[in-house]
Amino acid sequence: MTTSKNRSPDLPDARGELSAAIIGRLRGDTARLPGEASVARATAYGDDLQLALYVGYELHYRGFAEVDDALEWDPALIELRGLMEDRFLDALRQDAVRDHDVDDAFAELLVEPVHGTGVSYFLQDEGELWRLREYAAQRSLYHLKEADPHAWVLPRLWGRAKAGMAAVEFDEFGGGRAERVHARLFADLMDDLGLDTTYGRYVDAGSAQMLATVNLMSLLGLRRALRGALLGHFATLEVTSSPSSRRMALAMKRAGAGPAAEFFYTEHVEADAVHEQVVRHEVIGGLLEEEPELAQDVVFGVDATVFLEDRFADHLLGHWQAQKSSLRFPLPQQPQ
């Protein structure tokens, strides 16, 4: 990755009233932003609301080219974002929440089905290069800032939870070595697949389902009141990462994707097997020892993550099994 690849990205194209209004505001439009009625009309998991949220959150990451950094805390943008967040959260609490406790939630995550049907199983068995390239382009919306949303929780923890979370994040950020930062490793994977590693390059092509998975991280990270849910979310990623990464490494090898593409996943097989233990026993265990009242928030984080990842998987598999692109705009052919 070069410095130019890491610059603030250009603003994406709007996908509806809400995203058009926010993007217009960032370009200098002073018109009044939409209110509650417009947010209520929007589909909670749809392209317009999810892109609008994504753009609002990106102001807290790298911002956008030629957009004033001061707009990160523009009161009108924050007010609209709050309305959209509530719409998103209300939908998740209605659609995703199941009746179980923390132990049950993690017990379910730890069970590997004998005959799995998810994306990593499909790619392991039928991972043609074009599908792997699409998967990487979609996932780049998160992986080029991997672990960044979770870092916001550190000032909100103490004791075992803080120490455990900091230890895992240290590994995610390369253990002090820039070339081992996981976002850098994912960029290397993209290079192997002939993809553009510029930060934010594939936002316009990315599906609403993928945007929603990234937005959940940002939403939970930015709200202190949802710190328990963020840790539930993070634990879900770590618990399920090692076995799925093993399958993805096999998919990359089978398709001849390249050594860096394969290494990104083999690295996660090893690292996340350790992280899963630390997160469950130290981070979640430490949090609930100090704040047992956050148990249902942790469960909500697990449930919301599983629900949105399942929606994303259904989107991918539905398109791929029909031999269609999962992206809004198909990728150019890989250079020979």
The pLDDT, as a whole number, for residue 3 is 47
Domain span at residue 22? Answer: 4-95
The type of residue at 234 is F
Q: What residues contact residue 108 under an 8 Å CB cut-off, 6+ apart?
A: 100
Cα–Cα distance list, 79 to 40, 250, 251 (Å): 14, 45, 44
Q: 12, 204 in Cβ contact below 8 A? A: yes
| Domain-located, residue 246 | yes
The pLDDT, as a whole number, for residue 220 is 98
Q: 188, 260 in Cβ contact below 8 A? A: yes
| Domain-located, residue 334 | no
Residues 84 and 210 in one domain: no
CATH number at residue 241: 1.20.910.10
d(CA 1, CA 216): 26
Tens-level pLDDT at each residue, the chain (336 residues): 334 677 899 999 999 999 999 999 999 999 999 999 999 999 999 999 999 999 999 999 999 999 999 999 999 999 999 999 999 999 999 999 999 999 999 999 988 776 778 999 999 998 899 999 999 999 999 999 999 999 999 999 999 999 999 999 999 999 999 999 999 999 999 999 999 999 999 999 999 999 999 999 999 999 999 999 999 999 999 999 889 999 999 999 999 999 999 999 998 887 777 888 899 999 999 999 999 999 999 999 999 999 999 999 999 999 999 999 999 999 988 766
The pLDDT, as a whole number, for residue 1 is 38
The count of domains in the chain is: 2
d(CA 86, CA 102): 24
The pLDDT, as a whole number, for residue 143 is 97
Place of tokens 């265990």: 285
Residues 137 and 8 in one domain: no
Q: 271, 277 in Cβ contact below 8 A? A: no
| Domain-located, residue 330 | no
